[in-house]
Chains A and B, each alone.
Chain A
């Protein structure tokens, strides 16, 4: 099986703070990590490869330092890595990101499966997976918890609001993967050493034969018009006292706010 996994490098939100004056993220010194959900996508791909043979290619679009995330993925067991990096790709929204990634996947050849995380924790959009699938003309199952091969198709367990669904999906197909699917395996020492030295393919705008109007800022239909601090709560209350007093005060306050 030829499998692709799209991983995004994101700031470790544990360490991100917001500058209250400018409403910008203080990103200096904030470590970057692989988007946590993408670790589950990677593990799912690795398990399929281990079972059925083949290769796992990790793909990331981002600034040159996103190479780090790709090396980490190699250390965990991926076979190949491709970085999509170009100033022209900068400022991409989910549409332009999906388009650019899809060009790279096409260029890499025919895949049996493409995996994504459920969503990226910096933007929380969950839009890139279905977007790429559309450009690749692949069916997509979102919120996949398990994927197995059955003959010429995949059998997928999908998480829904009130339980699970089982789907059959023709190959090739795309999946976005939830946290509860698995846990990413440890890095092996051998892989870790190899990952340090591995050659990572870097593709820019010219390599992909992209349309300039469809990548980066110019290919992005959405624009951020403003960023602001969430409204401060004005009606805050603190309750202390005996447990009975606290309980009755809480009930009273909820009633005052018409929510009980």
Chain B
């Protein structure tokens, strides 16, 4: 039996999480280096519907665990079933998205199997000399990076941030579905989801998955000026973030807070408007691809991490940006 790399193919309401495609794309590179076969594992009512998409991003095998009880993520059912599957096939590596689901599921499985788990990785590599997965993650608010290995335990497991790897489909997808037996009879129903409340607010594009984020800080000056941030976000199709100072002041809900005590985000472009760049804020956004800072104080620490710094008054620059972006669209 060839050795394998598994990607947990997280689905919510029948839709694969974006990070799954990113993990498969990265997984292909790891597969080439290691010689391990790239596989996906999907738990749902009927995994058949996900297979083509998973092949398309490079899965050579898709383990489907099909059960009505898998229609939504339930930690007990999911963790036990995956742990059993891991025991049966003993993959070398298992990757999960660092989503709210992945970050509950993976540590439960790691505890069950006594294997290592590295949280919230932003880089993955494979050491061909010793078979170690090199799992790199920011620590202490992104001030340092740490590479973690689990040399003596298998599988090596990691949760990986969204939006750090590119989604790259393969040219000639092909793969095989392995239908796995599921037996949940022995697992008591200790928890169940009784209601789902979506934030219908059109402004709450999921910060964790957003490609673009526009964030506002105390430099906005007044709560009503968040409108500028929303308008710029609308122009870019961006999610709206905020510093804690604005959340504490009641200008915007906690839902939007980025940083150590808020959300950790990793968009392609992060635009900080009137944010000073305190270490706790940087902790949540420092690994964004391109950081843009708009601040009138040239010595604001946000400029240390910014790729593009605009020194100026946001009340003048942001409306101008909105106007020019809108004009470019025609």
Contact = CB atoms under 8 A, between A and B. Distances in A.
Interface of A: 13-14, 16, 18, 23, 25, 36-37, 93-95, 98-99, 121-135, 139-143, 159-170, 173, 179-180, 214, 220-230, 233, 235-240, 243-244, 246-248, 250-251, 253-254, 257, 259-260
Interface centre among A125, A159, A162 (most CB of B within 10 A): A162
Instruction: Label chain B's interface by main secondary structure.
Output: mixed
A247 B190 contact: no
Contacts of A129: 107
B208 A161 contact: yes
B308 A225 contact: no
26 contacts: A14-B279, A16-B140, A16-B279, A23-B144, A95-B111, A95-B117, A121-B260, A126-B119, A128-B107, A134-B108, A139-B76, A164-B199, A166-B195, A166-B196, A167-B193, A168-B194, A170-B191, A179-B261, A222-B118, A226-B146, A227-B139, A236-B307, A243-B317, A250-B321, A251-B328, A253-B308
Contact of B310 (A125, A131, A225, A246): A246
Interface string B130-151: 0010100011111111111111
B269 A254 contact: yes
Contact of A140 (B104, B140, B193): B104
Contact of A222 (B150, B188, B319): B150
Q: Which of A123, A124, A248 has the most CB of B within 10 A?
A: A124
A157 to B, nearest CB: 9
B116 A222 contact: yes
Interface of B: 75-76, 79, 99-100, 103-104, 106-108, 110-112, 114-120, 132, 134, 138-153, 188, 190-199, 204, 206, 208-209, 254-255, 257, 260-262, 264, 268-269, 279-280, 283, 286, 289-290, 292, 303, 305-313, 316-317, 319-321, 323-325, 328
Max count, chain A CB within 10 A of own CB: residue among B152, B254, B307: B307
B150 to A, nearest CB: 5
Nearest to B311: A240
A134 B111 contact: yes
Contact of B193 (A36, A166, A240): A166
A226 B280 CA distance: 24
A166 B198 CA distance: 11
Contacts of B305: 233
Contacts of B150: 221-223
Contacts of A135: 111
B309 A131 contact: no
B261 A162 contact: no
Nearest to A180: B254
Given A14-B280, A251-B325, A125 B140 contact: no
Q: 9 tightest CB-CB pairs across the interface, nearest first? A: A221-B116, A127-B107, A222-B116, A134-B111, A166-B195, A243-B316, A125-B119, A130-B107, A221-B153
B209 A13 contact: no
A232 to B, nearest CB: 10
Contact of A225 (B75, B120, B147): B147
